[in-house]
Amino acid sequence: MGWGKGKTEKGQGGKLGHSNRDGWGYHDEEKVISKKQRRLEQQRFILDERSKLDEDLRSRTKTIIEALELANSKYQVHEFDSGGLMIDFSLGSEFYCIQMYDNKFGLSKIDDNPEFSSIPDSGYIDWIDFKEIFDNILS
């Protein structure tokens, strides 16, 4: 007569209770949970960084609008779901378009050519460089 098969020793058979492990779940379950946790942490990090960019973009948009109002310029602001902004403004008979996204700035002078292009005439990564050109246009 036999005693029957008992519980396997720790660390054998890929079952619950592996040696050197804190959790009591199956290995595959723990892998899925840890991947999900890493993914959620990365999403939170990206959202935090994105909100910082949005705050910078909004403050710079406010600065541009204040300068346009001081110059008695007509302007129109367009916001897009992607987080980008576009400001159309006119100075006298000249018409300009500013494109802003992720702290990148584009400036285009719109002429009589009816073709539409989303590529700006000039692009700037640095706010100071862009602001200098923008101030020259306003003066």
Instruction: Tell me, yes or no, whether 4 lies in a domain.
Output: no
Instruction: Tell me, yes or no, whether 19 lies in a domain.
Output: no
- What pTM, to 2 d.p., does this model score? 0.58
Give the total number of structural domains in the chain: 1
- Per-residue confidence (pLDDT) for residue 53, from 0 to 100: 58
pLDDT digits (tens, 9 = 90+) for 75-123: 998 887 777 888 999 888 888 889 988 778 888 888 777 666 677 788 8
Residue range(s) defining the domain that contains residue 56: 27-138
Copy the structure tokens of residue 109.
């002078």
Question: Bridge partners of 106?
Answer: 99, 123
Instruction: Tell me, yes or no, whether 110 lies in a domain.
Output: yes
Instruction: Tell me, yes or no, whether 17 lies in a domain.
Output: no
